[in-house]
């Protein structure tokens, strides 16, 4: 009787250990499968992870601001225009730009000689962008380089470009290209859509 009890006890112990070993292995397989499945779903976009990854890859790139999100305040004069329009409905009409415009006026005017001319030009410049405030912030950060590029572009301007409306329009496009060139070089992104003259004197 004592011999059978002695052999039965180790057999019972061995069976119990195998049971816990099987449960442990099953848990590891389940957890591993769950983690693997979750990673697959996130990478394939099933959990919305695909879109989030695409956005985080372009997180440093300014985004276009639809008119529905427009703050209605220019970057240079925050609070003034915004307080005027606060609570007023945005007028809806046919046509117009799809994206909101943010305006920024450069503080100092630009004075430059004209190419092969005794005249010089003095202009005040403002810019607009359909992108978020990062474009204006980039412009402020690199204002010295931007001012230099604008002066170089003005110095290459003929008299014909300052005495006619068509010439001034061509000059606006050249100045926008010069500003975007600096911003692309420094930040990898331009974003300036238009240049506007707030002052224009030829002497």
Picking from 140, 153, 77, 158, the residue whose alpha carbon sits closest to that of residue 110 is 153
Integer Cα distance of 199 and 181 in angstroms: 23
Q: Hunting for tokens 């402020």 — which residue is that?
A: 140
| Residue 153, pLDDT score | 96
Q: What is the chain's pLDDT, residue by residue, as a tens digit (203 residues)? A: 555 555 555 555 556 777 777 777 766 666 766 665 555 555 544 444 444 444 344 567 888 888 877 644 444 444 444 444 455 555 555 656 789 999 999 999 999 999 989 999 999 999 999 999 999 999 999 999 999 999 999 999 999 889 999 999 999 999 999 999 999 999 999 999 999 999 999 99
Q: Which two tokens stand for residue 196?
A: 């506007």
Q: H/E element holding 46?
A: none
Rg of the chain over all Cα atoms, to the nearest angstrom: 33
| 122: helix, strand or coil | strand
Q: Do strands 194-202 and 110-113 pair parallel, antiparallel, or not at all (unpaired)?
A: unpaired
Check: CB of residue 88 under 8 Å from CB of residue 81.
no
């Amino acid at each position: 009787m004592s011999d059978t009890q002695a052999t039965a006890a180790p057999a019972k112990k061995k069976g119990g250990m195998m049971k816990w070993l099987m449960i442990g292995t099953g848990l590891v397989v389940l957890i591993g499968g769950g983690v693997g499945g979750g990673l697959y779903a996130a990478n394939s976009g099933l959990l919305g992870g695909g879109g989030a990854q695409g956005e985080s890859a372009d997180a440093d790139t300014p985004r276009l601001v639809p008119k529905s999100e427009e703050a209605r305040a220019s970057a240079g004069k925050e609070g003034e225009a915004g307080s005027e329009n606060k609570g007023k409905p945005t007028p809806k009409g046919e046509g117009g730009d799809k994206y909101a415009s943010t305006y920024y006026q450069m503080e100092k005017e630009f004075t430059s000689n004209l190419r092969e001319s005794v005249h010089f030009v003095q202009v005040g410049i403002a810019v607009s962008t359909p992108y978020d405030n990062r474009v204006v912030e980039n412009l402020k950060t690199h204002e010295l380089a931007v001012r230099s590029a604008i002066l170089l572009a003005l110095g290459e301007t003929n008299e014909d470009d300052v005495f006619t409306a068509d010439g001034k329009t061509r000059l606006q496009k050249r100045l926008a290209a010069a500003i975007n060139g600096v911003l692309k070089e420094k930040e990898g992104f331009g974003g300036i859509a238009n240049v506007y003259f707030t002052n224009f004197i030829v002497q």
